Amino acid sequence: MPELPEVETIVRQMQKQVSGKRISYVEVKVRKLVHGKIPLVSIKKVWRRAKAIIMELGDGRFVVIRLGMTGHFHYYKSGVTLPGEDKYIVVKFIFSDGSLLTFNDIRKFGSVRVLSLKELDILLAKMGPEPLSKEFTLAVFQNLLLEKQNANMKVTLLDQHFIAGIGNIYAQEMLYRAGIDPRRKILTLSDAEIRKLYLAMRGILKLAIEHHGTTVQDYVHIEGSGGFQRYLQVYEREKCPQGHLLKKIYLGARGTYWCQKCQK
């Protein structure tokens, strides 16, 4: 499922492939997932905030794409034709140089919306801080946790209003690396544990970006698959790297793996 590293990977590829191009034609296939009319203008920039892909348009507006669980893109250079009809295409962007970008989504949890700067600001303001930003210091993390004393640590890592971009896979991986039991309530964490989690969070996300994200089930980025699945230590695994059998429970209605010996 696309989380911060997967979306970051896709955005970096889109910067190369479609940034600076002019949209000459748009074909909407799944009306329900596309909100607003996409204008036929240039794409000035593409960037990421949380798990959202933001395309800044030449008319001052923005196309915000959320992948949901199964959203993905296909890109075709000019002259390359689509290999058959794809029933999961949500929207097709045709650029003035003849190249083509499709946004596809099997489970239809994704969305495409056209927003003004004001609307974009409102959307972004609701999101928590970017965990890899310079501003996101250990002190900032500690202060955020102070307001969530009663909540469960793992569920809070998934809360996009708290921290942006972390999903179910990386939340479990960072808790394992930090040696923290995912069932812990925030108020029970020591300063040393919070520091460990902070470092694990940034370390895991950076490493995952280096490997172009994690491919499990159906995530693919534009140029292929990610490689971080080779580094997963607990997610959907039988044993941790130490050889201990892992436990699985549900927290926040999401499958949660952890090691009773390595995580306290």
Q: Active-site positions?
A: 2-3, 51, 254
Closer residue to DNA in complex, CB, 23/154? 154
List Cα–Cα distances, 108 to 36, 64, 66, 75, 170, in angstroms: 17, 15, 10, 19, 23
Given candidates 2, 5, 182, 226, which one binds DNA under the rule CB under 7 A? 2
The dihedral of CA 23, 27, 30, 34: what is its sign? positive
Closest CA to 66 of 105, 104, 31, 110: 110
Given candidates 148, 195, 211, 247, which one binds DNA under the rule CB under 7 A? 148
Closer residue to DNA in complex, CB, 35/77? 35
Q: How far apart are CA 10 and CA 6, in angstroms?
A: 6
Q: Which of residues 8-47 bind DNA (CB under 7 A)?
A: none
Q: Quick check: 197 and 174 in contact, CB under 8 A?
A: yes
Q: Quick check: 197 and 167 in contact, CB under 8 A?
A: no
Residue 99 CB, nearest approach to DNA (Å): 27
Of the candidate spans 19-27, 37-45, 152-160, 191-199, the one that interacts with DNA by CB under 7 A turns out to be 152-160
Q: How many residues does the chain have?
A: 264
Q: Which of residues 59-78 bind DNA (CB under 7 A)?
A: 66, 68-69
Residue 23 CB, nearest approach to DNA (Å): 24
Q: Quick check: 67 and 8 in contact, CB under 8 A?
A: no
Using the rule CB under 7 A, is 151 a contact of DNA? yes
Closer residue to DNA in complex, CB, 136/219? 219
Q: How far apart are CA 153 and CA 6, in angstroms?
A: 23
Of the candidate spans 8-16, 131-139, 203-211, 249-257, the one that interacts with DNA by CB under 7 A turns out to be 249-257
Q: How far apart are CA 12 and CA 165, in angstroms?
A: 16
Residue 157 CB, nearest approach to DNA (Å): 10
Binding residues (CB under 7 A) for DNA: these are: 1-3, 50-52, 66, 68-69, 106-109, 148-152, 155, 158, 160, 167-169, 235, 248, 252-255
